[in-house]
Structure 1
Amino acid sequence: MPGHIARAVPSPQPLIAGVDEAGRGPLAGPVCVAAVILDPAKPIAGLSDSKQLSERKRDVLYPLIREHALAWHITFVEADEIDRLNIFQATMAGMSRALRGLSPAPGFARIDGNKLPRDLPCPGEALVGGDALDPAISAASILAKVARDARMHELHAQYPQYGFDRHKGYPSPLHLAALREHGPCPEHRRSYAPVRAALEASRLL
């Protein structure tokens, strides 16, 4: 019998998604989670942890990521769900949703932080400081930050008395003073202690 040579067909590399969030610490507004699969054929210069970039640089990179990535998805976890689940579980839920929203679907996920959601749609790893180490996570951090900031500007138009356009819901002195003066609005996270205290104070008036 003539001999034959068996050749293994190399399997394609799995698509790798980076995942990050913005907005765990604020007293108001949503947590925003983004997932990104970058295209190796279309590298994007300047990707880094969104917190290390200026607002102007983030605004430049935001449309480039959306244009050049193989896939991206942004999801918001609203204040009522944060209050119902707690901030950690709400963020984990948002990460799973962001990954499930990607098309094509990823074969692997790298997530900024030290915890993985239990219901990931694919294998994954947690990477502490990943937003400064992995370009896909950096891209996700930029999408999440810019999208959340835009949402907070929208909320400022609805509730201008709180100054959401300036502090984005974080507990700045300006925000805390407005919270004491006006009480919480529907976008405030009632499970957070300063909001809970303001709500109790308003009930005593």
Structure 2
Amino acid sequence: MKLDSIRRDYKKAALTKKEAAPDPIHFFSQWMNEALALELPDATSMALTTVGEDGFPQSRIVLLKDFGNEGFTFFTNYHSEKGRAIAQNPKVSLHFFWAELERQIRITGMAEKTGEEVSEQYFHSRPLDSQIAAAVSAQSTEVPSRAYLEEKFAEMKNRLDGADPKRPEHWGGYWVHPLKFEFWQGRANRLHDRLVYEKQAENWIIKRLAP
């Protein structure tokens, strides 16, 4: 398989400081709304990167569930690999990529657990089967088989008989409080546009980077 000749040019849009919003969260909202308006598949998916207990970076796709002044919110099992990594080192990064728009956003920040009321509200807003799956899965631990998981799922579902399970104490949300944003717009000839927002005191400083 020959990969070195696979390429395409990017010509959909440009990105200038003049067009960029002064507040990166507002600018992020603009780009996210454009992705959602086009009904792009998995528009809210993002790569979350943590530093593992072994010192190696680990990335996986999670879903953005909210964002605003508190930061960027996702939910998971606190005992999972990412949960253990965040407990040890709360420095994380988020990465959004919308191929159809030829855009990327990278966010660097500090992860912190949300309040329990936020976790509780979101947990019980999920479909019942998703609640049960979260309750029975000891995420990131070794299991003997797929059948083992399906049996535990069926047992709890039968026991609940249509009722909601209790949210596990080890399952909940994180806020990622942003310290740095990079907005990337693909351009022709690989001369891409890159604008970086860095937090200085209470202000955001915008810089242009070479592609």
Higher strand share: 2
TM > 0.5 between the two? no
TM class by shorter-chain length? under 0.3
